[in-house]
């Protein structure tokens, strides 16, 4: 774990008795990559900004096991009770923080867990973990481009068909398949050999009957979710990073073929048949009635496609003649529908249980039109990961090869200031509006009272009714069971 605290000197300095709110960051990376030491998660800026607006907080970033080390699953792993080790790593870190953060000047009753992408999905799983019993480990959750729903978790029913073949392949590759105890054999495989054997596979959390006792959608339907405040959102054009495309992401561990569990995203989308095949493969297979309905909801009309707002241009050189159609439906299924379902469910809880709920949509294209790691071919618009540079105020000195940073334009830094301060305000007060920026910034309404999103844009952030792509998002919300989400 990494800790960043305000300086001890000055009125906002920290001491053992300060009882400051705590921001806990869980990084993303498709559950196969990432680190709390990634300089793009600039928690030092967050803490310094919290002092500037007189809402000092402590920031903690945690590591967890990834890929085969964190999420390998099989009948052997299940029998040993060692599924979802990566999620248990996160939970153990939260318990340690709860028990020890007072010694760092933090308040264990004022912890907010936050994450983006796989980190956002992880936060979502902590909301449903152990049937919603969070034992006071956190009072609030921030989810960026990730949530409890979506396809980033497998049902137990897919253990034999999805995960066992992966496990068997790995054990064979590292010469453990003939061992009496293959799992014990794996424990003694050198790091590099195991890494190379697991690298071809995208390995995700599974409903293990313990950490995740049921599918997240079932937990929500039964009200078995943590009683905490929520701030959740997505980026408008999430899947210009994940749709089938001719030019893959430069992040070799998040390629189109591996980006989404249950989707065979290799190749391109040129025809209705290509799109129909793509839809039919979601999470192990959807029936013809559902596939046909989704085809109707996402017609071959580039004006309605992603990247949004780009008119009749098809960008077929990127991912085929129907690339924009695929990017729109994949983004809704993975990100947007889950965000909407999550905030709606929390907002509709009985009044005596309801905590603050805030929803956002990030709608700003990177300054140079691309997101170097995720979507290096323009136009990517407000793609996956593109909000991170604003939340953490990434400038060239902490970017990767001068990529994925805010850019040279002053107005982009103003957007960054607004976003980071809103996050700080939520961590400190459970209200993102106390950011201290008074000019041209609308009030961000509680979703429970308004059913509205805050839309982040350079120079023109606005509040909108949450009816963007309403028909499509509501349909995905009706078929969570078939999606095994």
Range name among 184-188, 232-236, 260-264 with the lowest pLDDT average: 260-264
Name the residue with higher pLDDT: 253 or 137: 137
* pLDDT digit string, tens, across residues 184-211: 999 999 999 999 999 999 899 999 999 9
Q: Where are the alpha helices (DSSP H) in 322-400?
A: 323-331, 337-347, 388-391
Taking residues 253-276, report their average pLDDT.
60
pLDDT (0 to 100) of residue 14: 61
Catalytic residue among 238, 333, 371, 414: 238
pLDDT in tens, 306-320: 999 999 999 998 889
Q: What is the pLDDT of residue 254?
A: 34
**pLDDT classification of 255: cutoffs 50, 70, 90:** very low
Query: How many Å apart are CA 416 and CA 187, to the nearest integer?
Result: 44
| C-alpha dist (Å) from residue 403 to 187, 369, 371, 376, 410 | 37, 12, 8, 10, 17
Q: What is the pLDDT of residues 24-40, one digit of tens each?
A: 999 999 999 999 999 99
- Please state, in angstroms and rounded to a whole number, the distance separating the CA atoms of residues 146 and 422: 19
Distance, in Å, from the CA atom of 376 to the CA atom of 448, rounded to the nearest integer, reads 37
- Interatomic CA distance for residues 440 and 253, integer angstroms: 40
CATH number of the domain that 192 lies in?
3.40.50.1820
- Confidence tier at 12 by pLDDT (50, 70, 90): low
Q: What is the pLDDT of residues 113-162, one digit of tens each?
A: 999 999 999 999 999 999 999 999 999 999 999 999 877 788 888 899 88
| For residue 296, cis peptide bond before it (omega within 30 degrees of 0) | no
471 is catalytic: no
Asked, as a colleague might, if the bond just before 369 is cis with ω within 30 of 0, I would say: no
How far is it, in rounded angstroms, from Cα 113 to Cα 133?
15
pLDDT in tens, 160-173: 988 999 999 999 99
Residue 16's pLDDT band, with cuts at 50, 70 and 90, is low
Residues 12, 83, 117, 359: which is the catalytic one? 117
Task: For 327-380, write each residue's pLDDT tens digit.
Answer: 999 999 999 999 999 999 999 998 888 999 999 999 999 999 888 778 888 899
Average pLDDT score over the chain: 91
Does the pLDDT at position 298 exceed 80? yes
Q: How many domains does the chain have?
A: 1
The residue range of the domain holding 437 is 2-483
* CB contact burial 49-67 (16+ within 10 A = b; e otherwise): bbbebebbbbbbbbbbbbb
402 catalytic per annotation: yes
At residue 160, the pLDDT reads: 92
The rounded percent of the chain whose pLDDT value lies above 70 is 92
Q: Which of 100-109, 185-194, 244-253, 429-438 has the lowest mean pLDDT?
A: 244-253
Flag whether pLDDT at 267 surpasses 90.
no
Which of 49-53, 235-239, 281-285, 422-426 is predicted least confidently?
Answer: 281-285
* Model pLDDT, residue 279: 93
Burial track 412-425 (b if 16+ CB lie within 10 A, e otherwise): bbbbbbbbbbbbbb
- Do the Cβ atoms of 117 and 211 come closer than 8 Å? no
Q: Let me know if 238 is a catalytic residue.
A: yes
Q: What's the average model confidence in pLDDT over 255-276?
A: 63
Which residue among 402, 443, 460, 464 is the active-site one?
402
Residues 277, 479, 241, 166, Cα dihedral to 10°: -70
Could you tell me whether strands 229-235 and 357-362 are parallel, antiparallel, or unpaired per DSSP bridges? parallel
Mean pLDDT of 386-399: 90
Q: pLDDT tens, 59-114? A: 999 999 999 999 999 999 999 999 999 999 999 999 999 999 999 999 999 999 99
Kindly indicate the confidence band of residue 397, based on its pLDDT and cuts at 50, 70 and 90.
confident
Q: How far apart are the first and last CA of the chain?
A: 30
């Amino acid at each position: 774990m990494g800790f960043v605290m305000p300086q001890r000197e000055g009125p906002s300095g920290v001491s053992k008795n300060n009882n400051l709110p705590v921001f806990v960051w869980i990084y993303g990376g498709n559950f196969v990559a990432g680190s709390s030491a990634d300089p793009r998660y600039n928690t030092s800026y967050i803490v310094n900004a919290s002092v500037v607006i007189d809402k000092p907080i402590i920031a903690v970033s945690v590591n967890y096991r990834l890929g085969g080390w964190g999420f390998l699953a099989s009948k052997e792993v299940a029998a040993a009770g060692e599924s979802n080790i990566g999620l248990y790593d996160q939970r153990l870190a939260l318990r340690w923080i709860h028990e020890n953060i007072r010694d760092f000047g933090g308040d264990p009753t004022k912890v907010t867990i936050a994450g983006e992408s796989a980190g956002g999905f992880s936060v979502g799983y902590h909301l449903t973990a152990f049937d919603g019993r969070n034992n006071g480990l956190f009072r609030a959750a921030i989810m960026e481009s990730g949530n409890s729903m979506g396809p980033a978790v497998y049902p137990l029913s897919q253990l034999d068909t999805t995960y066992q073949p992966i496990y068997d392949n790995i054990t064979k590759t590292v010469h453990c398949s003939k061992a009496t105890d293959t799992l014990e054999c794996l424990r003694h495989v050198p790091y590099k050999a195991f890494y190379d054997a697991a690298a071809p596979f995208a390995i995700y959390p599974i409903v293990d009957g313990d950490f995740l006792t049921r599918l997240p959608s079932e937990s929500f339907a039964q009200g078995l979710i943590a009683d905490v405040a929520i701030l959740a959102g997505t980026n408008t054009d999430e899947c210009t990073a994940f749709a089938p495309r001719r030019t893959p992401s430069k992040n070799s561990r998040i390629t189109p073929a591996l980006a989404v569990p249950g989707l065979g995203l290799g190749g391109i989308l040129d025809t209705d048949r290509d799109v129909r095949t793509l839809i039919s493969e979601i999470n192990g297979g959807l029936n013809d009635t559902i596939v046909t309905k989704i085809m109707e909801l996402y017609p071959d009309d580039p004006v309605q496609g992603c990247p949004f707002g780009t008119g009749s241009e098809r960008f077929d050189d990127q991912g085929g003649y129907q690339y924009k159609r695929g990017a729109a439906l994949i983004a809704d299924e993975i990100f947007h529908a889950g965000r909407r379902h999550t905030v709606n469910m929390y907002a509709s809880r009985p009044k005596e249980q309801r905590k603050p709920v805030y929803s956002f949509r990030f709608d700003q294209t990177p300054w140079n039109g691309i997101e170097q790691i995720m979507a290096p071919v323009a136009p990517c618009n407000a793609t996956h990961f593109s909000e991170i540079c604003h939340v953490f105020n990434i400038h060239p000195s902490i970017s990767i090869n001068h990529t994925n940073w805010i850019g040279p334009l002053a107005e982009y830094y103003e957007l960054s200031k607004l976003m980071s301060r809103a996050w700080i305000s939520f961590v400190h007060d459970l209200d993102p509006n106390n950011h201290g920026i008074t000019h041209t910034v609308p009030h961000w309404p509680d979703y429970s009272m308004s059913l509205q999103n805050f839309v982040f844009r350079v120079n023109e952030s606005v509040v909108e009714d949450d009816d963007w792509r309403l028909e499509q998002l509501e349909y995905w919300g009706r078929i969570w069971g078939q999606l095994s989400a």
